[in-house]
Each structure stands twice: as C-alpha cells, then as structure tokens.
Amino acid sequence: MSTIKVRGQTRLAAPEAIALDRTDKTLLRALQRDASISNVALAEKVHLSPPACLRRVERLRRAGLIRATVALLDPPALDAGMLVIIGVVLDRSTPESFAAFEKSAAKISGCMECHVVTGEFDYFMMLRTKDSDSFNRLHAEQLLYLPGVRQIRSFMVLKQVLSTTEIPL
C-alpha cells in the first residue's frame, strides 16, 4: 500500500481495489470475529488448505484490507467505563485551524476517535474515562485548551446499546 500526504501528515493511501470472492469475504468475516484464530483453524473454517489460506490472508493484508490485528479490551475493567461523545465547533473553517485542532485532539487522554462531520458540529470525538469526576478534570485540563474551539458539547453515554468493530461484508 502506498502513502499520501494529507494536511501535512503522511497517511496510508486507500486500499488497492481487489476483487473479493466468497472465500475472501468469509476469511474477513472470521478474522473480524476472532483475529487470534490459528491459520490451521481458519483454513478449516473456510475450506482451504493452510498454505492457501495463509497466502490469501497475506494478499488481503498487502492490499490494505486488513490494517491491523488488535485485542479489544474491556473498558470498565481498565477504569475507562465512561464513554463521552463530544461535539466540537471551531471558530474558523480554515485548513490551518483544522490541522491545529486535529494535531491537539490526537493528544487528548482517552480519545478513542475523532471525526470531521457535517452539520451543526465540525468534529465528533469519542473519549473514554473512569467516571464523571475524571471527565471533569479532563475537560478542565485538556479540552478547554484545544486550539480554535468556539464550542464544546459533551454527551455522557448512559447505556451502550451496540458497539462493534465488524464491517458488514
């Protein structure tokens, strides 16, 4: 996969366009559910020989369809049980103000995601923290100092109904 420059940062280019057959999709679905599965068990699941399975998985990696293999941790067990969604409105919509905000937002403690959006807000951020007291400290010590921010609106999640990392295939 190649790299590109976006707002002064080097990022991975979009995945190469490759044709996915039924076996590729089955492999990807299985790996989304459990990436720790052994190659032998995965091969059995998708009805391939282990070498053929490994070649296909490597091809999917090289094409950029598999970006990483990670462990999904339990937030409450790690004192990060509170999920907060934050809407951010910037003072100005300039490339410089967006770049400055994005650089600073990437350094916020517990920031799991940050997205440029359309509509009333410029960004939505998802943060994990221990509880409302720790969020208040984070707000006072870090969020208030984000550059170019006109407004921050925080939404504390009361109940997580659905959270998945699986992309439908």
List pLDDT tens digits, range 113-160: 999 999 999 999 999 999 999 999 999 999 999 999 999 999 999 999
- Tell me if 166 is assigned to some domain: no
Domain residues for the domain of 58 are: 3-62
Q: Are 56 and 82 members of one domain?
A: no
* Count, residues in the chain: 169
Residue where a domain terminates, one of 62, 95, 112: 62
Give yes or no for residue 13 having a pLDDT over 80.
Answer: no
Q: Are 25 and 85 members of one domain?
A: no
Q: Are 84 and 152 members of one domain?
A: yes
Cα–Cα distance, 114 to 138 (Å, whole number): 16
Q: How confident is the model at residue 6 (pLDDT cuts 50, 70, 90)?
A: very low
Give me the CATH number covering residue 127: 3.30.70.920
Mean pLDDT of 39-56: 97
148, 130 contact by CB (below 8 A): no
- What is the radius of gyration, based on Cα positions, of the chain? 20
Q: Are 82 and 136 members of one domain?
A: yes
Q: Are 89 and 132 members of one domain?
A: yes
- Tell me if 70 is assigned to some domain: no
Q: How confident is the model at residue 107 (pLDDT cuts 50, 70, 90)?
A: very high
132, 79 contact by CB (below 8 A): no
Q: Are 14 and 83 members of one domain?
A: no
pTM of the model: 0.81
Mean pLDDT of 60-82: 95
12, 37 contact by CB (below 8 A): no
Give yes or no for residue 84 having a pLDDT over 50.
Answer: yes
- Tell me if 24 is assigned to some domain: yes
Q: Are 109 and 83 members of one domain?
A: yes
Give me the CATH number covering residue 53: 1.10.10.10
- Tell me if 168 is assigned to some domain: no
Q: Residue 100, class by beta-carbon neighbours within 10 Å (0-12 exposed, 13-18 middle, 19+ buried)?
A: middle
87, 152 contact by CB (below 8 A): yes
Instruction: Find all residues with CB under 8 Å of 46, minimum gap 6, and list them.
Output: 23, 26, 27, 30, 53
Q: How confident is the model at residue 53 (pLDDT cuts 50, 70, 90)?
A: very high
- Tens digit of each residue's pLDDT (9 = 90 or more) over 28-37: 999 999 999 9
Cα–Cα distance, 60 to 46 (Å, whole number): 15
Number of domains in the chain: 2
Across all residues in the chain, what is the average pLDDT? Answer: 92
Q: Are 149 and 101 members of one domain?
A: yes
- Tell me if 147 is assigned to some domain: yes
Mean pLDDT of 39-57: 97
Mean pLDDT of 59-86: 96
Q: Are 7 and 36 members of one domain?
A: yes
Query: Which pLDDT score, from 0 to 100, does residue 14 have?
Result: 58
Strand order in the sheet with 123-129: 111-116, 123-129, 82-90, 149-156
Q: Are 146 and 80 members of one domain?
A: yes
Structure tokens at 109: 């403690």
- Tell me if 35 is assigned to some domain: yes
